[in-house]
């Protein structure tokens, strides 16, 4: 029989069903049904999108902070971010303050929506002493190139006659100059690492406006105006910072927020899962592991494109540690095996409606059963 002494559990959330913590707990229970003395190391991971702040904060033993900020339409809303590393590092999901779900479908308009609330989260963390920021920028309702965020941090954007401009993507074409005289002084000591898994440029046919603005409520006329505004603002940025954001892959992410972060806050754009794994010290955690179990709600051919399980696989491959993946739905199994997963398992025992499959207790039961069965298979194989 094969003895398993150490298993690392590193699964993303099953979105809409289970958090990464709930997934990990269920996997651990399945392991201990067969290997009660096995060391099961639970980590809570995400790919930089929804759930990243809570996953990192929980894994690193930090605390979640909830404050009132402005939503994309400058209405009060409660938003949370994580504090880790003894309060020196903040983990922020911009969607918690500036995300699309915060705006009713009939009110979605990237000409009006702003990232101001995201800036307020950064502002609060700076005041608490944070000097390192890990920011996920997926799921935005905005196309303001980060101007709202910067306004909350003390920047002012002025038109041709020196008048201060308001909020939203509609101001971009009117920005003639930048006033940073009230910029928060703490920013000069701050480091920003941004989870960005797209390479879209700031403007143009594959830029922020044309690719992403329609899903945020922009009609064709708005898309054209927003793109023109981004091109105009890119020129202002170049004059102000010397940085050509048009040449920066990923600058179009989150409606140009990626470019705003790079140009004004000297942010580094990186893969979301790479940011997460590096932050939790994943290479150290998997040392001498016999097996790694990962997964997410749906495993398919897109799993190779920077999603959490692929990041786990890449890290494990360097140590030649086998990785098994589980998913609520599994497609393209042959492709997943070619990528290097030792095995891939769907957790559903039979036909089920989507509502039933995503029901919390049912999903947890299915994960426990699936993991128990795969561990039994390993246990009874003769060496």
Domains delineated in the chain: 6-44+290-379 (3.40.50.10350), 52-272 (3.90.1510.10)
pLDDT of residue 211: 94
Number of H helices, E strands in the chain: 14, 13
- Calculate mean pLDDT across residues 136-156: 96
pTM over 0.95? The answer is no
Kindly tell me if the per-residue pLDDT of 300 is higher than 60: yes
232-241 contact pairs (CB < 8 A, 24+): 232/172, 232/173, 232/175, 233/145, 233/147, 233/172, 233/173, 233/175, 234/202, 234/203, 234/259, 236/175, 236/176, 236/177, 236/178, 237/263, 237/264, 240/177, 240/178
156 membership: H or E segment, kind and range: strand 156-158
The confidence band for 48, taking pLDDT boundaries of 50, 70 and 90, is: confident
The confidence band for 350, taking pLDDT boundaries of 50, 70 and 90, is: confident
Torsion angle in degrees (nearest 10) through CA of 365, 370, 17, 110 = 180
pLDDT digits (tens, 9 = 90+) for 82-138: 999 999 999 999 999 999 999 999 999 999 999 999 999 999 999 999 999 999 998
First to last CA, the chain: 6
């Amino acid at each position: 029989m094969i003895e398993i002494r150490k298993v690392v559990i590193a699964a993303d959330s099953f979105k809409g069903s289970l958090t990464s913590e709930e997934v990990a707990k269920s996997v651990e229970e399945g392991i201990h049904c067969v290997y009660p003395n096995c060391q099961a190391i639970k980590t809570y991971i995400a790919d930089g999108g929804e759930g990243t702040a809570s996953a990192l904060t929980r894994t690193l033993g930090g605390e979640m902070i909830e404050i009132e900020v402005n939503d994309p339409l400058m209405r009060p809303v409660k938003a949370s971010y994580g504090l880790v590393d003894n309060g020196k590092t903040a983990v922020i999901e911009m969607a918690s303050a500036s995300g699309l779900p915060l705006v009713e479908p009939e009110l979605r308009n990237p000409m009006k929506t702003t990232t101001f609330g995201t800036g307020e989260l950064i502002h609060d963390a700076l005041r608490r002493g944070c000097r390192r920021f890990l920011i996920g920028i997926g799921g935005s309702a905005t196309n303001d190139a980060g101007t709202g965020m910067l306004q909350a941090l003390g920047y002012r954007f002025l038109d041709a006659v020196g008048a201060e401009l308001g909020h939203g993507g509609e101001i971009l074409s009117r920005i003639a100059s930048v006033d940073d005289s009230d910029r928060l002084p703490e920013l000069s000591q701050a480091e920003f690492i941004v989870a960005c898994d797209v390479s879209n440029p700031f403007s143009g046919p594959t830029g922020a406006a044309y690719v992403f603005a329609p899903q945020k409520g922009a009609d064709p006329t708005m898309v054209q105006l927003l793109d023109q505004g981004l091109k105009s603002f890119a020129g202002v940025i170049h004059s102000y910072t010397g940085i050509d954001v048009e040449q920066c892959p990923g600058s179009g992410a989150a409606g140009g927020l990626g470019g705003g972060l790079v140009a004004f806050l000297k942010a580094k754009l990186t893969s979301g899962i790479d940011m997460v794994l590096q932050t939790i010290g994943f290479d150290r955690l998997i040392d001498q592991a016999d097996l790694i179990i990962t997964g997410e709600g749906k495993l398919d051919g897109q799993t190779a494109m920077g999603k959490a399980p692929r990041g786990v696989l890449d890290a494990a491959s360097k140590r030649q540690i086998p990785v098994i993946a589980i998913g609520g739905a599994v497609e393209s199994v042959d492709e997943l095996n070619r990528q290097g997963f030792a095995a891939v398992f769907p957790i559903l025992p039979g036909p089920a409606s989507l509502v039933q499959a995503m029901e919390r207790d049912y999903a947890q039961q299915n994960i426990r059963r699936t993991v128990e069965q795969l561990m039994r298979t390993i246990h009874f194989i003769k060496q």
